[in-house]
């Protein structure tokens, strides 16, 4: 199996998560040479006016309710060979602890077991990607048949050894007095490893459907499916209900695999502690506005007292008018300061904490602007000029622009270390729920009158009604003197039922990451 290629500082992937959610997945890998790294995500959403979405009908609070952020540590990248031999492999660490009798704290045993499942899952995912690439080369006639067979055989053998060594550890630990929670956790990790092998090996065989099922192409399929069957039998022997049924609805299977994935990967998900982004600044600015207004009212009172030495109707009217002006000055200054804060300060901030050490390893800040305040830059406007519709609509047809910004600053020195002392990166997942955009849409299906050219009879044909929403992205990363900017544009085709499809557009040659 080939070694994974080194990753750039920031990678992004845009995709549809489900019918109602769009997903942005970012992977940031700091160089480790600088104390801090930062990246900025800017999303510009261009919505047709017919959707009736603006800052009044879709306020900031509602937008943030539809944005879901998940930040987790990047899974350490280890090939199957490294999982078996490297000193920093979770499997090796677990074996050394058991051999030395270092079973306390028991949470460390569970942590290393979970990390092993995450590392193996990552290696399986890369294996499936390589199988898909090899199949593509075979279809094009650019690779020998033996490469695919070699890749499958080496991977199956490595997975067998990994499972055998881990299960030998769990059998050994089952004879030692441990807390029941620790025993149950190790059993669940074992089940998740088995399910991960089944899931990705099945996917690899499914990807081989493009190549013939005879001759040299048959052996890789047999080896992979033999391991799938072995793991399925293993789970049956242990009376686990995570076995696929060809005739049932597999509800229990889906529930268990979903629970096990969350259970094993929770060691990677970072804790967050949300704070108001600009409350302190705003309160200070509003206090200043109140002070300036009060100073004006006091000055008016002093001036009136100098002019009228005793209480009179004129003195009373001047005080009342002064108070009225003071109130308007206060509100006017509040609006000015609020507009300034909205333009230059983030709406909210989130502290990112390590799930194990509880150290603060980063800060995330977010901001949303509407309409003119969104300030769409020139390069984003040029990026959208993909066809005549968009070219002429900018500035002529009404549309709502929403700008969402997310800035993350990472403390590279506090990030957990992987093998070789390299700081772990983070995976940042942003999901946008589009349900609010669907409320004012028309029915998704129409009937159009159609005249037959042969006999001029009138009939009806089906017509689908959809709406197009452009999402333009600008990704910026900074790691010391290394800086990069990349642009992406996708178009969501929506109807009242949700996302129908996503169209991708090639970004310009600006990617410097």
Tell me the pLDDT tens digit for each residue of 55-68.
Answer: 889 988 899 999 98
Tell me the pLDDT tens digit for each residue of 264-300.
Answer: 988 888 877 766 555 555 566 666 766 666 776 677 6
Nearest Cα residue to 473 out of 377, 341, 372: 377
* Two structure tokens written together for 56: 């009044």
Mean pLDDT, residues 171-200: 91
Rounded Cα distance, 429 and 437, in Å: 21
Looking at residue 3, what is its pLDDT? 46
Looking at residue 360, what is its pLDDT? 82
Looking at residue 1, what is its pLDDT? 46
The highest-confidence range among 170-174, 191-195, 371-375, 444-448, by mean pLDDT, is: 191-195
Higher pLDDT, 164 or 391: 164
Model confidence at 164, in pLDDT bands (50, 70, 90)? very high
- How far CA 424 is from CA of 76, 102, 301, 418, in Å, comes to 7, 26, 64, 6
For strands 399-411 and 360-370, give the pairing: antiparallel
Tell me the pLDDT tens digit for each residue of 70-90.
Answer: 888 888 888 999 999 988 889
Model confidence at 176, in pLDDT bands (50, 70, 90)? confident
Side by side, the strands of the sheet bearing 271-276 are 271-276, 348-353, 360-370, 399-411, 36-48, 467-479, 482-495, 498-505
Q: Is the pLDDT of residue 352 over 70?
A: yes
Entry pTM: 0.74
Tell me the pLDDT tens digit for each residue of 383-442.
Answer: 887 766 666 666 666 788 899 999 998 887 777 665 555 557 888 899 999 999 999 888
Q: Where are the beta strands (DSSP E) in 49-149?
A: 67-73
327 C-beta neighbours (distance < 10 Å), count: 12
Looking at residue 375, what is its pLDDT? 83
Mean pLDDT, residues 128-137: 87
Domain ranges of the chain: 37-70+370-505, 80-267, 278-344
Contacts of 472 (CB under 8 A, 6+ apart): 43, 44, 46, 380, 383, 384, 487, 488, 489
Looking at residue 417, what is its pLDDT? 65
Nearest Cα residue to 257 out of 303, 317, 331, 188: 188
Looking at residue 162, what is its pLDDT? 94
* Two structure tokens written together for 160: 């067998």
Nearest Cα residue to 68 out of 17, 118, 12: 17
H helices then E strands: how many in the chain? 12, 14
Looking at residue 37, what is its pLDDT? 86
- Across the chain, mean pLDDT equals 82
| Measured CA angle at 18 (ends 14, 21), to 5 deg | 65
Contacts of 24 (CB under 8 A, 6+ apart): 12, 13, 14, 41, 43, 429, 430, 431, 432, 473
Looking at residue 185, what is its pLDDT? 92
From the CA atom positions of the chain, what is the Rg in Å?
A: 30
Q: Is 410 exposed, middle or buried (0-12, 13-18, 19+ CB in 10 A)?
A: buried
Question: Could you tell me if 414 and 359 are in contact, meaning their C-beta atoms sit under 8 angstroms apart?
Answer: yes
Tell me the pLDDT tens digit for each residue of 241-252.
Answer: 888 888 888 888
Rounded Cα distance, 27 and 475, in Å: 12
Q: Is the pLDDT of residue 6 over 60?
A: no
Higher pLDDT, 493 or 1: 493
Sign (positive/negative) of CA torsion 95, 98, 102, 104?
positive
Percent of the chain with pLDDT over 70: 81
Longest dimension (CA), the chain: 112
């Amino acid at each position: 199996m080939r070694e994974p290629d080194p990753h750039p500082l920031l990678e992004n992937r845009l995709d549809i998560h489900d019918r109602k959610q769009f997903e942005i997945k970012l992977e940031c890998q700091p160089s480790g040479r600088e104390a801090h790294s930062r990246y900025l995500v800017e999303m510009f959403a261009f919505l047709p006016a017919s959707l009736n979405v603006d800052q009044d009908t879709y306020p900031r609070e509602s937008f943030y309710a539809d944005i879901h952020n998940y930040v987790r540590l990047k899974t350490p990248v280890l090939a199957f060979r490294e999982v078996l031999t490297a000193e920093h492999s979770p499997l090796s660490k677990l074996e050394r602890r058991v051999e030395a009798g270092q079973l306390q704290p028991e949470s460390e045993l569970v942590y290393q077991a979970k990390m092993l499942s995450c590392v193996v899952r990552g290696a399986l995912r890369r294996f499936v990607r390589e199988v898909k690439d090899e199949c593509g080369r075979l279809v094009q006639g650019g690779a020998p048949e033996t490469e695919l067979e070699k890749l499958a055989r080496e991977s199956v053998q490595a997975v067998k050894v990994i499972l055998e060594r881990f299960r030998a550890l769990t059998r050994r630990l089952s004879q030692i007095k441990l807390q029941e929670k620790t025993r149950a956790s190790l059993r669940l990790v074992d089940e998740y490893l088995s399910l991960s092998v089944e899931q990705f090996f099945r996917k690899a065989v499914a990807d081989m459907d493009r190549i013939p099922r005879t001759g040299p192409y048959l052996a890789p399929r047999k080896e992979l499916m033999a391991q799938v069957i072995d793991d399925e039998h293993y789970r049956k022997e242990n009376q686990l209900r995570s076995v696929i049924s060809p005739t049932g609805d597999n509800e229990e299977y889906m529930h268990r695999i979903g629970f096990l994935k969350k259970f094993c990967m929770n060691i990677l998900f970072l804790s967050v502690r949300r704070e108001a982004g600009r409350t302190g600044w705003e309160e200070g600015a509003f206090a200043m506005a109140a002070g300036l207004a009060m100073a004006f009212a006091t000055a008016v009172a002093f001036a009136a007292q100098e002019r009228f030495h005793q209480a009179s109707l004129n003195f009373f009217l001047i005080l009342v008018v002064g108070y009225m002006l003071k109130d308007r000055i206060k509100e006017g200054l509040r609006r000015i300061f609020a507009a300034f804060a909205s333009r230059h300060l983030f709406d909210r901030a989130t502290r990112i904490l390590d799930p194990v050490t509880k150290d603060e390893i980063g800060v995330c800040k977010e901001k949303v602007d509407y309409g003119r305040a969104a300030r769409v830059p020139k390069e984003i406007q040029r990026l959208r000029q993909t066809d005549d519709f968009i070219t002429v609509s900018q500035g002529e047809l009404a549309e709502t622009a929403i700008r969402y910004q997310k800035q993350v600053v990472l403390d590279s020195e506090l990030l957990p270390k992987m093998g070789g002392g390299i700081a772990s990166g983070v995976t940042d997942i942003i999901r946008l729920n589009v349900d609010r955009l669907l409320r004012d849409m028309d029915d998704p299906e129409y009937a159009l009158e159609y005249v037959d050219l042969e006999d001029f009879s009138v009939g009806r044909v089906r017509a689908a009604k959809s709406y197009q929403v452009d999402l333009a992205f600008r990704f910026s990363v900074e790691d010391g003197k290394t800086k990069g900017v990349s642009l992406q544009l996708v178009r969501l085709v929506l109807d009242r039922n949700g996302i129908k499809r996503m169209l991708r557009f090639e970004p310009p040659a600006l990617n410097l990451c």
